[in-house]
Amino acid sequence: MKTDGTCACGPTLSGDQLTGVARRTFIVQSALLAAAAALAACGVTADATAPALPSSGNTINVSSYPSLSAVGGVAMLSIGNAPLAIVRTGSSSFVALSRVCPHQGGIVDQSGSGFQCPVHGARFSQTGQWTGGQGTSNLHAYATSYDAATGVLTVS
C-alpha cells in the first residue's frame, strides 16, 4: 500500500467496482456450493476408505487358492479386517483389490468378469476400474509382490 492509499499491485477499485467484484465472488462461490450439493445428492461424496492392512501376516500362499491357478482367477479372502479380491492377471502378476466399495462402504461381490456392489449397484472391472452403475471411484488396489519360487504373494 502506498502512502496515498493506493495499492502498488494495481489500480485501486472504486466502491461500485468492489461491489461488482463482490457480486462475482458471491456468484462463483454460490455455483461451487450448488455443484457440491448436487454431487452429494447423487451420492458422489467422500469415498469410503479401504482398510489398512496389518504390517505382518499379509502374505498368502497362492497354491492354497485353487481359483488362482489360472490367469483371470479370483480369490475372495481377508487379511486382517480387510476383505480383498485377489485377481491373477498373469503367470506371476496379481492385483489385490479392496472389496470395500468406495461409494459408501458396501462389500463388492464377484459379478460376471468383474465386481458389483450389492448396496447401490456400482460395477467394477476385474482390475478394479469403475465401469458403471452408481458413480464412484475405482476400487482401491493394494501393492502386491509375488515370489514365484515360493508361491507367496505379499499384499501391502
Q: Which stretch binds ligand FES (CB under 6 A): 6-14, 54-62, 91-99, 120-128?
A: 120-128
* CA 138/CA 34 separation, integer angstroms: 25
Cell of 148: 514365484
Alpha-carbon gap, residue 54 to 93, rounded angstroms: 22
Judged by CB, which is closer to ligand FES: 106, or 114? 106
The nearer residue to ligand FES, 74 or 122, going by C-beta atoms, is 122
Distance CA(67)–CA(76), nearest Å, equals 9
Q: Which stretch binds ligand FES (CB under 6 A): 18-26, 72-80, 118-126, 145-153?
A: 118-126
**Residue 101 in the binding site for ligand FES (CB under 6 A):** yes
Radius of gyration (C-alpha) of the chain in whole angstroms: 25
Grid cell, residue 4, equals 496515498
Provide the binding-site residues for ligand FES, judged by CB under 6 A. 101, 103-106, 117, 119-122, 134
